[in-house]
Amino acid sequence: MSVIEIKNLTKYYGKARGVIDVSIDVEQGEIFGFIGPNGAGKSTTIRTLLGLIYPTSGSAKIFGKSCTTNPEVRQEVGYLPSEVFYYDGMRVIDLLRYSASFYRKDCTKRINELAEIMDLDLKRRIDDLSFGNKKKVGIVQGLIHGPKLIILDEPTTGLDPLMQQTFFDLIASENKKGATVFLSSHILREVQKMCERVALIKDGRIIKLERMSALQENNFKRIKVEGLSDLDKTIFDMPGVSKLENGGKTASFLYRGDINNVIRKLAQTEVSNLSIDEPDLEEVFMHYYSKDG
């Protein structure tokens, strides 16, 4: 059974678009990436999933149940919002205890462990914490009950690189223990490093849902050519070529399609150097978002 099951989800805020016809399935134990630029509908999807907002049509289910009709499924969900705000006048430990009181387990031990890992002072007042430290409170708060599903919305904003690493190690270890992770982000490195599958969302619609490996390997090659003399522009005039940068003797472009076609074309000219690489996700991403815009 899928842990997350989003079917034909559509959400309009009055007339403004939230998301349109989004369908995603996340399997048990995987780390699923959800990427898209600001305003594409990532938060709308997550908030519908958590039952904070209601779908206009379609459904969003966790463990086969909707959060709005079965709030108890949230027992097994941990959520870290992109911006964290907590109650005035509470200490970190008060908030964590309050948070723990919603779950049927004893979380005391886990609170101390997590605070240790994230280097968080439990005695401090939350109001006095910096943004990054508040974010840490959010991380600990989302994980104290050992959730089976962890939903992360832009989790690393405000964390320093060292803390980001600690955080991703922590998520990875939770994943090893069996937790499913749903990671929403616009930072591609994060997603590339962590995720097995990824959905790309743009203007409220899912434009691609694929295995990370497939996305990187099969579709695109980053090709760089150096010629002995200036390269003839017309050679690159073929289907599958995009992001062409042609500067005299050198050219670089993304290619999608049968690699043999390129090689045959390139064979017609004198080449001094040629490299064919896997493009990083960023290039794929830019491709999706800049084209068909």
Partner 1 sequence: MNMYLHELKSLRKSTIIWVCAMIAIALMYLSLYPAIYRDGAHFKDMLAGYPASIRAILGVTVDSVTSLLGFYAMILAFVVLCGGIQAMNLGMSILSKETRERTADFLLVKPVSRAAVVTAKILAALTMFLITDLIYYAVASAIAFMVRQSSYSGGLFFMINFTLLFIQFIFFAIGAVVSVFFDRLRSVLPVSLGTVFGCYIIGALIAAGKDDWARFISPFRYFDYSYIVQNSRYETPYLITGAVIVVVSIVTCYFVYVRKDIHAVS
Residues 136-195 that bind partner 1 (CB under 8 A): 141
CB of 185 to partner 1, least distance (A): 16
Among residues 102, 177, 214, 263, which is the contact residue for partner 1, using CB under 8 A? 102
Among residues 33, 36, 51, 279, which is the contact residue for partner 1, using CB under 8 A? 51
Among residues 32, 43, 150, 155, which is the contact residue for partner 1, using CB under 8 A? 43
Q: Say whether residue 72 binds partner 1 (CB under 8 A).
A: yes
Neighbours of 114 (CB within 10 A): 20
Neighbours of 3 (CB within 10 A): 23
Q: Say whether residue 81 binds partner 1 (CB under 8 A).
A: yes
For partner 1, the closer of residues 85 and 267 by Cβ is 85
Of 178, 87, 174, 180, the closest CA to residue 137 belongs to 87
Residue 24 CA to residue 7 CA, distance in Å, equals 7
Q: Say whether residue 101 binds partner 1 (CB under 8 A).
A: yes
Q: Say whether residue 85 binds partner 1 (CB under 8 A).
A: yes
Q: Which pair of tokens denotes residue 231?
A: 């390269």
Among residues 58, 103, 170, 249, which is the contact residue for partner 1, using CB under 8 A? 103
Question: Which residues are registered as beta bridge partners of 201?
Answer: 206
For partner 1, the closer of residues 75 and 250 by Cβ is 75
Neighbours of 226 (CB within 10 A): 15
Sheet containing 149-153: which strands, arranged edge to edge?
A: 77-80, 149-153, 180-185, 31-35, 197-202, 205-211
CB of 27 to partner 1, least distance (A): 22
Q: Say whether residue 71 binds partner 1 (CB under 8 A).
A: yes
Helix (H) or strand (E) run with residue 187 in it? none
Q: Say whether residue 86 binds partner 1 (CB under 8 A).
A: yes
Residue 238 CA to residue 212 CA, distance in Å, equals 27
Interface with partner 1 by CB under 8 A: which range of 40-48, 112-120, 225-233, 243-251? 40-48
Of 25, 14, 40, the closest CA to residue 182 belongs to 25
CB of 45 to partner 1, least distance (A): 11
Q: Say whether residue 75 binds partner 1 (CB under 8 A).
A: yes
For partner 1, the closer of residues 139 and 223 by Cβ is 139
| Sequence-distant contacts of 122-130: CB under 8 A, at least 24 apart | 122/91, 122/92, 122/93, 122/96, 123/91, 123/92, 123/93, 124/91, 124/92, 125/89, 125/90, 125/91, 125/92, 126/86, 126/87, 126/90, 126/91, 126/92, 126/95, 127/88, 127/89, 129/92
Q: Which pair of tokens denotes residue 24?
A: 């995603």
CB of 277 to partner 1, least distance (A): 38
Binding mask 218-257 for partner 1 (x = CB under 8 A): ----------------------------------------
State the residues that interact with partner 1 by CB under 8 A.
13, 43-44, 47, 50-54, 71-75, 77, 79, 81-88, 98-99, 101-103, 141
